[in-house]
């Protein structure tokens, strides 16, 4: 232990300003009576600053303080804690914090904020509970951070909200903003609206937080509604606002509204940067407007890996597999290092084009690279299963799954079940379905897929068993719907539904359309429709699928030169796929269909997927 004499106090202060390595030269042969010294804030701060980017040296300073028994003020320990947090070592900062005597609320907030920053929400909540247990009164900053953490922990969120009300802090703008975000994440949009509407100050930061929370929580339509509301309220958007709005348009496939957001951006003089351009790029590819995405990409003054990856994945999901792979090669030639999203696009491109050997080669490159940024994740494994399965290599796909070094999820087995349905391998499909029924018993889509597989094979007794199992287990089939954007509004259609104001005209148009396409060769595919009804009833069921209604509505309302853009929440069925090809031929219209898996671009009786989907 280093010990210091009274007469050496000035020497100690001088040494404390020296580099840490010089402490080892102090003569330790003499053992005078130890004393406690109070180090000055200036001396300690100077030493900290000299080592501020070297965590090991900071730990040595801390160890020296502990072993010498030097008395140090909380303010200096606060400096040490904040420095470790900046360096990303929250664990050590917490150890220093735990040694402090009665730390101020500011420091409690600092620790909670650090855990939130590094997404350790459980520990943030634990620190808050300890704070309450010790009788430390939280302030408005505490709840700003704690509510943000507890938005990720549904079991804790409402209790924290009640605490904020108890202390009268719910009207603090920052706290109420976080409460609004929490309500959105919990799906309580009505309560979020109420809290937001009663805020004393409705500034741009609060609006942006509300819009972004809706986008991130899957409430894209609400986000666009808020975007328009804020303009009516006289709040001018900024770059953060339009990035969220573009993302919402991409989620919904709303190109018309995306162009509206683009116009607002220019009107407000918002300067484009790479983040804004990437959001626009993502919006275009998710709306199936590949040409506009290409033009924007080539015109961008600055690109990053997100820009390149967006184009690779965008080409892939829009059926332009060769362009996706060419873009990947171009990216590599430019020296842009790919990330896991880039490779997801590459593997998707190979999957949608049936390029098995090329897909295997790219996957091997990922595995062998040893780069943490591109190590295969569960999505990449699912892509490989999809690639092998779609191409008919079902046994290889099954063996690939069994050899996977990471924990399996339903997405991987679901990809194989989908491939079994494509190739009508009922035996393997039944085995995979049994696994999925155990992993996700409440997921109706797997039951429906297996039921359709049995129906296509004519095994109606098995169809009945699956449906009986669904009824007994309370498993609900996901309702299929399709949406179309027209005049800034999203029109949603469900199969056989007549609630739309134009239903009479839509059904009349659809009947006329069915007559047209039947005259040029369309025949309804009734193989998977209920076996206990007649042929006419089966055809009637198929003819009123949601995407057919959406197409009829679009033909009634869109100008002849406008492509028909339909977004479906589930995978397009075989019959509707065939129907769309015939409609594109009969009407000379381009139909762009985005389903759960990918885009289908129908032109002149052909589809961009080449019937490989």
Number of domains in the chain: 4
Q: In what order do the strands lie in the sheet with 599-603?
A: 489-494, 481-486, 564-568, 591-594, 599-603, 606-607
Residue at which a domain ends, from 98, 115, 137: 98
pLDDT of residue 18: 35
- The C-alpha atoms of residue 180 and residue 196 are separated, in whole angstroms, by 6
CB 273 within 8 A of CB 239: yes
- The C-alpha atoms of residue 45 and residue 49 are separated, in whole angstroms, by 6
The answer as to whether 129 is a domain residue is no
471 and 521 both lie in a single domain:
no
526 and 444 both lie in a single domain:
no
CB 164 within 8 A of CB 173: no
21 and 77 both lie in a single domain:
yes
312 and 425 both lie in a single domain:
no
Residue at which a domain ends, from 73, 98, 123: 98
CB-based contacts of 90: which residues, under 8 Å, 6+ apart? 84, 111, 114, 115, 118, 120
Output the CA angle 241-242-248, nearest 5 degrees. 95
pLDDT, tens digit (0-9, with 9 covering 90-100), for 296-343 = 999 999 999 999 999 999 999 999 999 999 999 999 999 999 999 999
pLDDT of residue 75: 66
DSSP letter for each residue of 81-92: HHHHHHTT-HHH
494 and 593 both lie in a single domain:
yes
The answer as to whether 168 is a domain residue is no
- The dihedral over CA atoms of 596, 601, 602, 607, expressed in degrees to the nearest 10, equals -80
385 and 472 both lie in a single domain:
yes
The answer as to whether 194 is a domain residue is no
The answer as to whether 193 is a domain residue is no
494 and 600 both lie in a single domain:
yes
550 and 583 both lie in a single domain:
yes
345 and 420 both lie in a single domain:
no
pLDDT of residue 23: 35
The answer as to whether 333 is a domain residue is yes
Boundaries of domain holding 521 = 483-607
Residue at which a domain ends, from 450, 478, 506: 478
420 and 510 both lie in a single domain:
no
The answer as to whether 125 is a domain residue is no
464 and 489 both lie in a single domain:
no
DSSP state of 567: E
pLDDT of residue 111: 94
Coil, helix or strand for 256? helix
CATH of the domain at 432: 1.25.40
Q: For the chain, which ranges sit under pLDDT 70?
A: 1-55, 57, 61, 64-75, 527-540
The answer as to whether 553 is a domain residue is yes
> Which ranges constitute the DSSP H helices of 391-425?
394-402, 410-422
- The C-alpha atoms of residue 91 and residue 97 are separated, in whole angstroms, by 10
487 and 603 both lie in a single domain:
yes
- 600's enclosing H/E stretch is strand 599-603
The answer as to whether 327 is a domain residue is yes
pTM for the model: 0.84
């Amino acid at each position: 232990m280093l010990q210091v004499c009274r007469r050496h106090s000035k020497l100690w202060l001088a040494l404390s300003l020296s580099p840490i390595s010089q402490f080892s030269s102090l003569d330790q042969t003499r053992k005078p009576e130890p004393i406690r010294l109070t180090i000055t804030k200036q001396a300690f701060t100077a030493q900290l600053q000299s080592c501020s980017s070297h965590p090991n040296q900071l730990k040595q300073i801390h160890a020296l303080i502990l072993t010498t028994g030097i008395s140090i003020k909380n303010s200096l320990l606060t400096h040490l804690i904040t420095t470790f947090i900046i360096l990303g070592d929250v664990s050590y900062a917490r150890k220093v914090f735990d040694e402090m005597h009665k730390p101020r609320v500011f420091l409690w907030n600092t620790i909670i904020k650090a855990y939130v920053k590094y997404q350790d929400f459980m520990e943030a909540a634990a620190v808050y509970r300890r704070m309450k247990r010790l009788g430390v009164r939280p302030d408005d900053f505490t709840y700003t951070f704690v509510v943000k953490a507890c938005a990720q922990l549904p079991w804790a969120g409402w209790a924290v909200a009640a605490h904020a009300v108890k202390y009268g802090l719910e009207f603090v703008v920052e706290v109420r903003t976080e409460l609004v975000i929490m309500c959105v994440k919990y799906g309580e949009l009505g309560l979020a609206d109420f809290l937001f509407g009663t805020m004393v100050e409705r500034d741009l930061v609060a609006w942006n937080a509300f819009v972004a929370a809706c986008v991130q929580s899957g409430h894209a339509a609400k986000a666009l509604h808020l975007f328009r509301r804020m303009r009516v309220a006289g709040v001018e958007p900024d770059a953060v606002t339009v990035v969220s709005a573009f993302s919402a348009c991409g989620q919904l496939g709303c190109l018309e509204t995306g162009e509206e957001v683009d116009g607002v951006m220019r009107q407000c003089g918002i300067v484009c940067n790479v983040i804004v351009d990437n959001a626009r790029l993502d919006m275009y590819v998710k709306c199936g407007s590949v040409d506009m995405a290409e033009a924007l990409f080539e015109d961008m003054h600055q690109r990053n890996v997100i820009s390149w990856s967006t184009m690779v994945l965008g080409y892939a999901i829009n059926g332009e597999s060769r362009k996706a792979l060419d873009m990947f090669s171009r990216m590599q030639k430019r020296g842009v290092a790919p990330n896991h999203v880039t490779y997801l696009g590459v593997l998707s491109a190979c999957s949608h084009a049936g390029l098995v050997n090329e897909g295997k080669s790219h996957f091997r490159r990922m595995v062998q690279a040893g780069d943490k940024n591109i190590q295969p994740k569960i999505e990449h494994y699912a892509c490989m299963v999809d690639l092998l399965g779609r191409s008919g290599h079902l046994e290889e796909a099954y063996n690939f799954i069994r050899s996977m070094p990471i924990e399996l999820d339903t997405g991987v087995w679901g990809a194989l079940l989908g491939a079994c349905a494509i190739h009508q391998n009922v035996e393997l499909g039944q085995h995979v379905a049994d696994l999925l029924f155990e992993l996700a018993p409440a997921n109706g889509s797997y039951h429906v897929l297996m039921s359709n597989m049995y129906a296509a094979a004519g095994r109606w007794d098995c169809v009945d068993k699956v449906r009986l199992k669904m009824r007994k287990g309370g498993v609900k089939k996901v309702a299929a719907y399709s949406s179309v954007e027209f005049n800034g509004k999203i029109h949603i259609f469900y199969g056989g539904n007549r609630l739309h104001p134009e239903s009479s005209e839509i059904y009349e148009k659809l009947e006329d359309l069915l007559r047209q396409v039947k005259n040029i060769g369309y025949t309804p595919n009734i193989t998977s429709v209920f076996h206990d009804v007649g042929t006419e009833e089966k055809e009637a069921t198929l003819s009123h699928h949601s995407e057919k209604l959406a197409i009829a509505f679009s033909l009634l309302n869109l100008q002849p030169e406008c492509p028909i853009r339909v977004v479906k929440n589930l995978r397009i069925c075989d019959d509707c796929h065939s129907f769309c090809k015939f409609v594109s031929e009969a009407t000379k219209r381009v139909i762009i269909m985005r389903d759960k898996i990918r885009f289908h671009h129908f032109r002149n009786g052909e589809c961009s997927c080449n019937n490989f989907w």
